[in-house]
Each structure stands twice: as structure tokens, then as C-alpha cells.
């Protein structure tokens, strides 16, 4: 049941449906339309993320009815009265799409010299969309919820902040962080609720809430009646012309931990344990990983295995891969290469790069399977094309040594550089040795020193010794 007797902004009959995502944003993801009767066709893989318990779906197009809220506002409020608000939001949205990598926003350049007024209009749009989200979630609007038609930024109980969006790569093996810029999305409301007489009708009353919306590489954070988390950005209040956008380098599930801890006052471990009991495979995997490594809890391999098994049975590729490592190495269980291969094969068939790399290594070395260089190369290539640095390093080794392929030093260097730029310490050391020796490439001590320094900084002993020897020999 949706609890509203008319337009929640002005009280007139509610005869208009606001888009869940701005139509202009959807059109960016769907630039081609064959004709007005057919759905929009995407050029690659744009996704609209409804990130509630990890559910993902693709939008059908800007005109799709599923991308609109129910009739909660009137046409006048949705168009004429809030047009300036929509424009202010569009300017920020456009900036996010055109500047995916920067970590600060110049409000003056984006909104103009009167950016304070534009900021208030931007808040107005965010209030409009949040009000529709609350009502469509079978909740009533709080008595102190702001109205965009008379909103004043001063002393607002709704605060917005902006940070870099968390990577969605963990929810599907084929997602990469680079794909974030092609995503628009929103998460479920996180709220504290108050019991009221409306509860019998299925309507809940909100006391406070946290909400996140994603525009490509950026995330807008909504804080209603709750203190914002500084790690997710300072309050967007126009106090400074330059707004800094923090990049936490976390995934979307870790973002959930932060939000849940803030709204419910619980710890990450407790929240993980509770959600794991409910059978959420990713959270079972994350808790299993903590028990396997002793991160934040006392190490317990038996608990880790039990949680990994539960998540693996639900097709979680990360749990399948880590559980395979446990069986292959005999950690807390009897060694079982056959079981490890079975688990890695499941994850690899879903496109999970670490599992593909692990299988590739087995075929290269003939461990538990017949040695098959062609199969090893194929698996390494599948993982390497996804940016997995260990596979790039391993494939580079095969090209450098001519194992299963014609020797190709240039190709090996390309692969090692890809891996080294991602911080792969062995690739960094290999490149240092290659350029220091001058046996396969032109000798270049400067390049060798660069790579050895990077490897040495990560504690690579051979790189440290090589670097020291180079310094002493000068």
C-alpha cells in the first residue's frame, strides 16, 4: 500500500509519475533508437542497478514504465514547479559522466557563479526523488521531511554528500571497475522505523535514513536525520567552491557494511554473521574469508570451510575458488586436487578470472591433470583479458620462455608491464632484471631501477638485493 492522498508536495490530485532515474541519464546509456515503437538498444553493456541484496537488472529504456514511480505527484509539481531543480541535477549528472576520473568538483564551473542557488535547486530535485522512493517503499513521509517547493538549505535535516562509487565487480565475475561509468543505480533505503497505527495497513513511519544513488563513477549519499559519515564525503553545502570527492576503493558490499553500521549501530562482523545466517552467499563468503585469515576474528579454518561450502553451493564463484585452494593445499582438510579442480572449473565457467588462472597453472605444470600448454594458454588469456595481473604474469612467462608458443619477448614485456602496473611484484622484478641485464632488450638501468624500486617497496627480497647491488656497483 502507498500511503498518500494526492501529490505529496502540494496536495493536488497525483496524476504524474516521476522517473526513478533521470530520463536524460537513461538516454546516455541508450543512444540508439530504431523507431518509436521499439525499445532502446544499447551499444555495449549499460546497466541500471537496483542493488538490493545484490539484484541486478538491465533497464529496457528511458520510456519503460518499470523505470517510473507510481503516481505520487501532480503534473504541475513534476514539471513547471521543479524544472529548475531538474536542470540543476542534470548539470551535476552531466559533469559526472564527462569527468569520470577526477576527485574534486568545481561548483563554480559546473553551476556558475550563483552556485549556491543552484545547489538549493539540486537539493530540491534530490528531495523530490527521495520522497517518491520513500512513499513507493510503503512508508509514510516523516512530519519533518522537507518539501522541495519551499526548501531552504540552511539548517536542513537532509544532507547530501558525494564520493566515488564503490566497484560493482564483486556481484558478477564479468564486472570490472572500469564498467562503473556505464552504470546508473540506487540502493534500498536503510531506515530506522517507528511503530504507528498505520502499520496495520502495511505502512511504516521513517525516523531517519541513509540512501545511495550512483551516477557512473560517483555516488550521491542521502543522510536524513542522521550525521553523515565523513569518509563518504563532506556535507555538500556550498561552503567551498571546490568540493573534494573521496575515493574509498571499496566494493558495493563493503559500502553496505558501513551504511548498516551507521543506521543500526552494529559492527561489520555482527552484521556479517546475521546476514550469513540468512543465507546470503556473498556475506557467507566474506565472513568465511575473515575466519580463514583471522581478519577481525580469531582464525578458525573449520568455520571458514563451512561458510565457504555454503556460499559455494549457492554458486558464489569467490567461495568456490577459495575453497578450491583449501582443498588443493590441504589446509584443515585432506588434500584433494580433484575436488579443487571441480570447484575451480565451476567458477572458471562463470568467467571468474582467478579460477581460470588457477586451472591454467595446473595445466601448465601438469598438477592433478595431464600437462596441456594449449589449455593453459587459453585459460591464462581468458583471465588476462579481464585484467587479472597474475594471469598476465604467467602468460608473459610462457611467451618469454617459448612454452607452448613461439618465443616472443615483446609480447612477454607487454604482459608483464600490464601486471606490473597493477602492482604484481614478480612482474616488476622480472622487468627490472630484464632491463638490467640487457640480454633480450636494450640495457636500461633507469627503467630497471624503477621496477626494482616498486618491487622492493612491496618487500620483494630479490628486488631489494638487486637494487642494492646496482647501487654499490656504480
Model pTM score? 0.57
Does the pLDDT of residue 231 top 80, yes or no? no
Find where cell 505529496 sits: 8
Does the pLDDT of residue 4 top 70, yes or no? no
By C-alpha distance, which of 369, 368, 365, 431 is closest to 404?
Answer: 365
pLDDT tens figures, 85-141? 999 999 999 998 888 888 899 999 999 999 999 999 999 999 999 999 999 887 888
Mean pLDDT value of segment 166-181: 58
Counting every residue written for the chain, the total comes to 474
pLDDT tens figures, 28-50? 666 555 554 344 444 444 444 44
| The pLDDT of residue 167 | 66
* Percent of the chain's residues with pLDDT above 90: 50
Lowest mean pLDDT among 58-67, 357-366, 458-467: 58-67
**Which residue has better confidence, 59 or 88?**
88
On whether the CB atoms of residues 118 and 112 are closer than 8 A, the answer is yes
Distance CA 55, CA 59 (A): 13
Q: Are strands 242-244 and 218-224 parallel, antiparallel or unpaired?
A: unpaired
Neighbour-count burial of 297, counting CB atoms closer than 10 A to its CB (0-12 exposed, 13-18 middle, 19+ buried): middle
**Which residue has better confidence, 44 or 341?**
341
Does the pLDDT of residue 23 top 80, yes or no? no
Distance CA 207, CA 65 (A): 30
Does the pLDDT of residue 55 top 70, yes or no? no
Find where cell 527521495 sits: 130
Does the pLDDT of residue 404 top 90, yes or no? yes
| The pLDDT of residue 1 | 41
pLDDT tens figures, 207-227? 888 898 888 889 999 999 988
List CB contacts of 247: < 8 A, sequence separation 6 or more.
103, 163, 164
Q: What's the number of CA atoms in the CB half-sphere (13 Å) around residue 410?
A: 0
- Sequence-distant contacts of 380-386: CB under 8 A, at least 24 apart: 380/356, 382/348, 382/351, 382/353, 382/356, 383/353, 383/354, 383/356, 383/357, 384/415, 384/418, 386/174, 386/176, 386/351, 386/353
List CB contacts of 245: < 8 A, sequence separation 6 or more.
102, 103, 104, 105, 162, 163, 164, 218, 233
Residue 404 has a CB neighbour count (10 Å cut-off) of 18
**Which residue has better confidence, 33 or 405?**
405
On whether the CB atoms of residues 271 and 257 are closer than 8 A, the answer is yes
Q: What is the DSSP letter of 167?
A: B
pLDDT tens figures, 435-466? 998 888 899 999 999 999 999 988 899 989 98
HEC assignment per residue over 18-68: EECCCHHHHHHHCCECCCCCCCCECCCCCEEEEECCCCCECCCCCCCHHHE
Mean pLDDT value of segment 304-327: 93
On whether the CB atoms of residues 385 and 351 are closer than 8 A, the answer is no
Query: In the beta sheet, which residues pair with residue 209?
Result: 224
All structural domains of the chain with their residue ranges: 16-264, 268-424, 425-474
- Sequence-distant contacts of 297-302: CB under 8 A, at least 24 apart: 297/269, 301/326, 301/331, 301/332, 302/332
On whether the CB atoms of residues 108 and 242 are closer than 8 A, the answer is no
Distance CA 15, CA 10 (A): 12
| The pLDDT of residue 2 | 47
Does the pLDDT of residue 166 top 80, yes or no? no
| The pLDDT of residue 414 | 94
Lowest mean pLDDT among 59-73, 266-280, 444-458: 266-280
State CA 349 to chain mean position distance.
Answer: 22
Q: What is the mean pLDDT of the chain?
A: 83
| The pLDDT of residue 130 | 95
Distance CA 422, CA 389 (A): 7
| The pLDDT of residue 290 | 82
Three-class SS state of 184: strand
Q: Which CATH number fits domain 268-424: 2.60.120.330, 1.10.3210.10, 1.25.40.10, 3.40.640.10?
A: 1.25.40.10
Does the pLDDT of residue 77 top 90, yes or no? yes
Alpha helix positions (H), 232-295: 252-264, 268-277, 281-293
For 44-78, b/e burial (b = at least 16 CB within 10 A) is eebbbbbbeebebeebebbbeeebbbebbbbbebb
On whether the CB atoms of residues 267 and 296 are closer than 8 A, the answer is no
| The pLDDT of residue 42 | 41
Mean pLDDT value of segment 182-192: 71
C-alpha cell at 361: 597453472
Band (58; pLDDT cuts 50, 70, 90)? low
CA triple 113-129-250, angle to 5 deg: 80
Mean pLDDT value of segment 289-301: 85
| The pLDDT of residue 18 | 92
Distance CA 66, CA 64 (A): 5
Lowest mean pLDDT among 34-43, 264-273, 360-369: 34-43
Amino acid at each position: 500500500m502507498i500511503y498518500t492522498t494526492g501529490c505529496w508536495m502540494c496536495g493536488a490530485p497525483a496524476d504524474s509519475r516521476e522517473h526513478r532515474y533521470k530520463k536524460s541519464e537513461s538516454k546516455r546509456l541508450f543512444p540508439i533508437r530504431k523507431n518509436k515503437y521499439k525499445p532502446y538498444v544499447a551499444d555495449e553493456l549499460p546497466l541500471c542497478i537496483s542493488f538490493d541484496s545484490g539484484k541486478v537488472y538491465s533497464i529496457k529504456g528511458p520510456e519503460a514504465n518499470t523505470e517510473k514511480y507510481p503516481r505520487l505527484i501532480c503534473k504541475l509539481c513534476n514539471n513547471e514547479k521543479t524544472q529548475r531543480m531538474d536542470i540543476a541535477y542534470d548539470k551535476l549528472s552531466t559533469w559526472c559522466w564527462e569527468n569520470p576520473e577526477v576527485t574534486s568538483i568545481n561548483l563554480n564551473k559546473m553551476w556558475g557563479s550563483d552556485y549556491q542557488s543552484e545547489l538549493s535547486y539540486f537539493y530540491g530535485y534530490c528531495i523530490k526523488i527521495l520522497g517518491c522512493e520513500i512513499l513507493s517503499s510503503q512508508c509514510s513521509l516523516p512530519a519533518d521531511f522537507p518539501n522541495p517547493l519551499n526548501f531552504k538549505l540552511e539548517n536542513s535535516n537532509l544532507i547530501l554528500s558525494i564520493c566515488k562509487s564503490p566497484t560493482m565487480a564483486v556481484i558478477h565475475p564479468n564486472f570490472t571497475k572500469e564498467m562503473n561509468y556505464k552504470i546508473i543505480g540506487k540502493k534500498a533505503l536503510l531506515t530506522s522505523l517507528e511503530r504507528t497505527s498505520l502499520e496495520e495497513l502495511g505502512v511504516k513511519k521513517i525516523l531517519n535514513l541513509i540512501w545511495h544513488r550512483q551516477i557512473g563513477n560517483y555516488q550521491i549519499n542521502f543522510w536524513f536525520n542522521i550525521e553523515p559519515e565523513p569518509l563518504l564525503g563532506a556535507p555538500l553545502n556550498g561552503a567551498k567552491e571546490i568540493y573534494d570527492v573521496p575515493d574509498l576503493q571499496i566494493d558495493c558490499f563493503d559500502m553496505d557494511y558501513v551504511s548498516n553500521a551507521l543506521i543500526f549501530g552494529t559492527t561489520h562482523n555482527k552484521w556479517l554473521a546475521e546476514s550469513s545466517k540468512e543465507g546470503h552467499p556473498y556475506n557467507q563468503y566474506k565472513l568465511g574469508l575473515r575466519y580463514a585469515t583471522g581478519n577481525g576474528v580469531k582464525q578458525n579454518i573449520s568455520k571458514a570451510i563451512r561458510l565457504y561450502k555454503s556460499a559455494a553451493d549457492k554458486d558464489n564463484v569467490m567461495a568456490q575458488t577459495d575453497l578450491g585452494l583449501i582443498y588443493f593445499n590441504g589446509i584443515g582438510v585432506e588434500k584433494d586436487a580433484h575436488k579443487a579442480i571441480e570447484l575451480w572449473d565451476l567458477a572458471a565457467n562463470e568467467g571468474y578470472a582467478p579460477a581460470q588462472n588457477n586451472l591454467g597453472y595446473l595445466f601448465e605444470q601438469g598438477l592433478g591433470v595431464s600437462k596441456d600448454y594449449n589449455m593453459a594458454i587459453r585459460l591464462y588469456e581468458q583471465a588476462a583479458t579481464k585484467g587479472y595481473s597474475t594471469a598476465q604474469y604467467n602468460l608473459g612467462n610462457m611467451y618469454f620462455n617459448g612454452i607452448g608458443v613461439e618465443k616472443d619477448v615483446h609480447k612477454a614485456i607487454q604482459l608483464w608491464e600490464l601486471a606490473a602496473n597493477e602492482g604484481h611484484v614478480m612482474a616488476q622484478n622480472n622487468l627490472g632484471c630484464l632491463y638490467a641485464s640487457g640480454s633480450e632488450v636494450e640495457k636500461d638501468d633507469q627503467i630497471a631501477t624503477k621496477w626494482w624500486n616498486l618491487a622492493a617497496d612491496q618487500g620483494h627480497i630479490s628486488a631489494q638485493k638487486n637494487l642494492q647491488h646496482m647501487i654499490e656497483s656504480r
